[in-house]
Amino acid sequence: MENILEILETKGPLTGKELLQETSLDSFALWVACNRIKEIFIETVGKRYLRLDRQIEGYARLSPSIMREFYGYTVIGSRNQSEAVRQKARALQNEIREISKKKFALAQKTISQLVETHEDVEIIKKNACFMLAGDVVYDMAHAEPRPETSTGELVKGSDLDIVVVLEGVSEKVQRRLEEAIYAQKYKLLVNPAIREEVDYIIKDLSRVREQLKFIDFKSMVAVKILNEAIFLYGSIELYNKIKIMLKQASIPKKIRSLEKEAQRNRQNAETYLLKAQYPLSNEEAMKFFYTTEEKEEIF
């Protein structure tokens, strides 16, 4: 424990990631130590937002997980470094916002170029709405290298969660659009200068109506994503129509209720972890400290 303070006094303030690299502790032991030692000063940046997780009763938890929040969004120092910790935290917040801004711009540029050069451009612009969800929406995008699930190739942090809703579009046009998005997804993934992962779903407005029933895990995730999603490209009229449908189905109210539950679950998890025996079992770690994947499923 004293070694942590010595490191911070000589090299701090440090992010959770940086401090982890300086110690021989694992992430859980280090998180506990930093939250127990009174001489340590911690500042966490960013926003906690709702994630639906099958592992949790009621599905509601907060993202980022405790581990990822500590690793990438927390600055640690000694008490006499408090002002330096705050300064570094502000710089980290600005960096995260800039990453989010650049990822949004990339998503918008990618989709606009794709549609403008597509053979069905007029149909798509009139009858398709492209939305962006996930980390970027909350100004919480990161650029930490991670392996893409299907190829194992390293990508630059948060993926681009794109939801496409169509109204009155033929299966033929939808198929051609999906082929174009998939091709663009591959280009962004393999381009060494970009290395961005696009996660996307295309669905008809009739499917949205069905999902608004909010009756099972998949529909809850789909609707939660539509509720948070922001306009990217295409038909703003269709985007507004979707948002009205969400409101009429009382989805924002249901999401707020889940967010409150997730906040309670986070408080309970932190309390439990600070009292837990070391090391954590796999079940405990998965339920309280981190998730298997720090990415959303989209339906």
Within-domain flag for 291: no
Domain for residue 116, yes or no?
A: yes
Tell me, what amino acid is at 82?
A: S
Residue 72 structural domain? 2-93+259-284
218 and 123 within one domain: yes
Residue 225 has pLDDT above 80, yes or no: yes
Q: How much is the pLDDT for 124?
A: 98
Q: Which residue has the higher pLDDT, 283 or 45?
A: 45
Query: Do 207 and 126 belong together in one domain?
Result: yes
* Interstrand relation of 160-166 and 198-204 (parallel, antiparallel or unpaired): parallel
Q: CB atoms < 10 A from the CB of 281, how many?
A: 10
Residue 153 has pLDDT above 80, yes or no: no
270/56: higher pLDDT? 270
What pTM value is reported for the model?
Answer: 0.92
Distance (Å, whole) CA 128 – CA 233: 8
Q: How far apart are CA 268 and CA 262, in angstroms?
A: 10
Please say if the pLDDT value at position 150 is more than 90. no
Residue 166 belongs to domain with CATH number: 3.30.460
Q: Which residues contact 196 (CB under 8 A, 6 or more apart)?
A: 103, 106, 155, 156, 159, 160, 188, 189
pLDDT 10s digits, 96-142: 999 999 999 999 999 999 999 999 999 999 999 999 999 999 999 99
Same domain for 113 and 225: yes
Q: Tell me: do 72 and 163 sit in the same domain.
A: no
Per residue in 228-286, pLDDT (tens digit) is: 999 999 999 999 999 999 999 999 999 999 999 999 999 999 999 999 988 888 888 88
Residue 271 lies in a domain: yes
**Given a cut of 50, is residue 295 above it in pLDDT?**
no
Q: How far apart are CA 114 and CA 112, in angstroms?
A: 5
* Chain mean pLDDT for the chain: 93
Q: How many domains does the chain have?
A: 2
Determine what percent of the chain is predicted with pLDDT higher than 90: 84
Is 44 domain-assigned?
A: yes
Note whether residue 56 is domain-resident. Answer: yes
Do 81 and 38 belong together in one domain?
yes
* 299 assigned to some structural domain: no
Task: Give the per-residue pLDDT at 278.
Answer: 84
Task: Give domain status of residue 14, yes or no.
Answer: yes
Structure confidence at residue 61 (pLDDT)? 94
Contacts of 211 (CB under 8 A, 6+ apart): 218, 219, 222, 223, 226, 299
Whether 1 shows a pLDDT value over 60: the answer reads no
Do 108 and 81 fall within a single domain? no
Which pLDDT belongs to residue 246?
98
Distance (Å, whole) CA 26 – CA 13: 19
32, 113: one domain: no
Classify residue 199: in a domain, yes or no: yes
- The rounded distance, in Å, linking the Cα atoms of 11 and 19 is 9
Question: Do 108 and 249 have their domain in common?
Answer: yes
Are 43 and 145 members of one domain?
no
Give me the pLDDT at residue 59, please: 94
Of the pLDDT bands very low, low, confident and very high (cuts 50, 70, 90), residue 24 is confident
Task: Please count the other Cβ atoms lying within 10 Å of the Cβ belonging to residue 168.
Answer: 12
Task: Based on the fold, state whether residues 152 and 138 are members of the same structural domain.
Answer: yes
What is the distance between the alpha carbons of residues 46 and 42, in angstroms, rounded to a whole number? 14
Same domain, 249 and 267: no
pLDDT of 2: 55
Clarify whether residues 249 and 105 are in a common domain.
yes
